[in-house]
Amino acid sequence: MYGNRLLSLTAAFQLIAITAVLCRNIQLMLPNIPDVMHPPIPSEAGISEEDIEYLQSMENIDPEVKPGLFQGDMALNNEYFDYWRVGLRWDVFPEKLWLNRTVPYLISPLYETEHRILIYQAIRTINFMTCIKFVPWTGREQDYLMIWPVKYPSGCWSYVGRFGGPQVVSLQPPDDTGSNCLGTDGRPIHELLHALGIFHEQSRADRDKFVKINIDNIIPQYRSNFDKQSLKNTTYQFEYDYDSVMHYGKNFFSIGKGKQTIVPKYEGATIGQRKMMSKTDCLKLNDLYGCLGKPPNYNYKYYTLCNYMGL
């Protein structure tokens, strides 16, 4: 089973050559990103390499579905599979938190200038609206993000939380099929939030109060992607959010055109926006990283920014 091949990025990079990249007038020695990667998938998800190849070959498929990983775009191994919902439980896996709320990153030189600008915009948005700071990688930090256009699996995908060592966030640039992961700020924000430890909104244990899952419209081998988390790992500090940038779209993993897989139960509600963090996304992220403070010393700066700038 493909999910058992839990090859970490650090181990993989030890097998490949090192290259030099000039960044901000500093020569950085970087691992070469291979054209073909094998991100981890929980074995319980039951996803095979053939399943991934099937999605990779499909046309007009959402770029977050195309990678065929857990829930489409999440690289997650068995060890952490039981502790997800809105964010990783830091009390169980404190090492998954980015240290000092700081995320060193490097953007691939393979991107065109306009694509790099879009990624920078997504990074600046998170930096401004939260106390988390993405900072350019200097070559000295051991743990850092490499934002890269991975060829296989193509599409938009990320590891969840800090895995240690160089860690890929894959953002496929536009091509003749469409804008892929770089049409709006929301796509890179979505994947960067995964890298910070945030999961999909429709995975919440209380989601059946808010959405209906049309199981017969889902590609059979990917029905497990619509499982919800158990209550034992759940504490809700924020209401269910249709506007979340982390919510599935209505046609994710659909068997065909017009076959909706997930439908809001509240009239007029829409799901699957990829424009910007919602107010709740912003508050959720700030809460996970302790940016909001504790009583009586709340930090109202980030409450205000989230409420004024979030969708």
Q: Is 38 annotated among the ligand-binding residues? A: no
Rounded mean pLDDT, 15-36: 60
Helices (H), 59-156: 78-81, 113-129
Evaluate whether 248 touches 210 at the Cβ level (below 8 Å): no
105-154 pLDDT, tens digit each? 999 999 999 999 999 999 999 999 999 999 999 999 999 999 999 999 99
Q: Is 115 annotated among the ligand-binding residues? A: no
Q: How far apart are CA 127 and CA 37, in angstroms?
A: 29
Could you give the residue numbers annotated as active site?
191
State the virtual CA torsion across 69, 75, 79, 81 in degrees, nearest 10. -60
Q: Which helix (H) or strand (E) holds 75?
A: strand 74-75
Residue listed under structure tokens 């990103």: 33
Longest dimension (CA), the chain: 55
Q: Is 194 annotated among the ligand-binding residues? A: yes
For 94, the 3-state DSSP assignment is helix
162-201 pLDDT, tens digit each? 989 999 999 999 999 899 999 999 999 999 999 998 889 9
Q: How confident is residue 26, by pLDDT bands cut at 50, 70 and 90?
A: low
Whole-model pTM?
0.89
Which pLDDT score, from 0 to 100, does residue 9 have? 40
Cis omega before residue 264 (within 30°)?
Answer: no
What tokens appear for 112 in the block? 């065109």
Q: How confident is residue 63, by pLDDT bands cut at 50, 70 and 90?
A: very high
